[in-house]
A = this chain, B = another copy of it.
Amino acid sequence: MQAEIICVGDELLIGQTINTNAAWLGEQLNLKGIRVHRSLSIADSREEIIASLEQSLTRSQVIIMTGGLGPTKDDITKHTLCEFFETELVINEEALERIAGFFRERGLPLLEVNRQQAALPAACRVIQNFRGTACGMWFEKNGAVVISMPGVPYEMKSMMEEQVFPLIQAHFCTTEIVHRTILTIGAGESFLADQISQWEDSLSAHHIKLAYLPSPGMVKLRLSVYGKTDGIDEILEQKIQELRSLIGTYIYGVEKESLEEIVGELLRGKGMHLATAESCTGGNIAHLLTTISGSSDYFMGGLVAYHKDIKVSQLGISAEIIEQKGVVSREVAEAMALGCQRNFGVDFAISTTGVAGPLGGSEENPVGTVWMAVAGPNGVKSEKFRFGKNRGFNIDMASAAALNMLRKEILALNG
């Protein structure tokens, strides 16, 4: 069974709004075994809506639309659907009561434009909206369903989870899709592809598809099987084991975890605490760690020692070492980590010092050079990296590399 997503709204086409609805819908449909093969954004235009629906109905069985259901003049999705399905608007009493209650509760008058939101196509099954005033609509035509919902993400998501998914599952017989995602760091896509080329060829015998999903410094490998067959879980496990023996040193986790979550769980499991001493990453590592709810259990805080005087005054690094070795050096990276470990009274401290760019490079330390260190219960380790020329990229890469270095050091405690 194939699905398509049609998002209606000028704001999506001029880049005012990033389309997160399409990503969420794609993920949820996919997890339920419904393959999305197109996702389209179009303007608030009668012609575009009709042309898109006509095309989608030739290809797909599930067509999910969002947007264009507000009370203002530029919202024309409902009227266009009425025209397309050759039906007319009638007041839906349940919707009207809910909308009236919505305004009553807030002490606001019920305007005619709001009352008109309860006028819905006679030919549709109404999907009530318990979090807003724009109802959803479920149409059926030639064996396919067309579902239209508002574009407000939390209204749309609730309607999908509470009403639309159960309706779809009751209406169709869906194929389950099995996924496994293996997360790697520290090797490029082409290097990995080369290392696992033979293994990759072995997947087709089991109808397993492999996708490489790269992001700065990392590559996710996703295995997918359409249709759950007997023993497929075991085969996938075996394939992942084979993969570990080929590129195990680059694998940092499985499924949707981020590096900061994995490091956090490792620290939590050991009851250990972490602090950061950042120069070229400028606070980004602390920021990543604290995006995780509950990170205060293991993350004590950090120092952004951006200027060299701060490295001296706040981390106790000798000005002489900085003078002799340079700010971007093994010695300074190690002294930063050790000073941070001591000042913050933590088990682990990580440090970065480098040239984020685009200015400030030298022959010895061109833009993209970063020294980083991890101070832990067994002493301090350091490593030099060379990333690229783009400042944002270098900050992202250095942050990921530092967290990965920390991850390995925590794991090494077990050895």
Contacts and interface: CB of A to CB of B under 8 A. Distances in A.
Contact of A22 (B19, B305, B388, B395): B19
Interface in A167-189: 188-189
A11 B213 contact: yes
Copies of this protein in the assembly total 2
Q: Which of the four size classes fits the interface of chain A?
A: 35 or more
A246 interface: no
A226 to B, nearest CB: 12
A82 B67 CA distance: 37
Interface in A364-415: 386, 388-393, 395
A302 B290 contact: no
Contacts of A84: none
Nearest to A45: B37
Contact of A200 (B11, B19, B73, B290): B73
A344 interface: yes
A276 interface: yes
A229 interface: no
Contacts of A313: 343-345
Contacts of A395: 287, 290-291
A48 to B, nearest CB: 7
Which residue, A10, A27, A55, A393, has most C-beta atoms of chain B within 10 A? A10
Interface stretch (A136-144, A233-241, A278-286): A278-286
B301 A290 contact: no
A212 B111 CA distance: 17
Interface stretch (A87-95, A118-126, A292-300, A317-325): A292-300
B291 A296 contact: no
A307 interface: yes
A80 B13 CA distance: 26
A40 interface: yes
A28 B14 CA distance: 8
A268 to B, nearest CB: 14
A72 interface: yes
Interface in A55-74: 55, 70-74
A247 interface: no
Given A290-B306, A307-B296, A309-B300, A213 B393 contact: no
A26 interface: yes
A277 to B, nearest CB: 10
B22 A70 contact: no
8 contacts: A16-B23, A16-B27, A283-B285, A283-B287, A284-B290, A286-B286, A294-B359, A299-B307
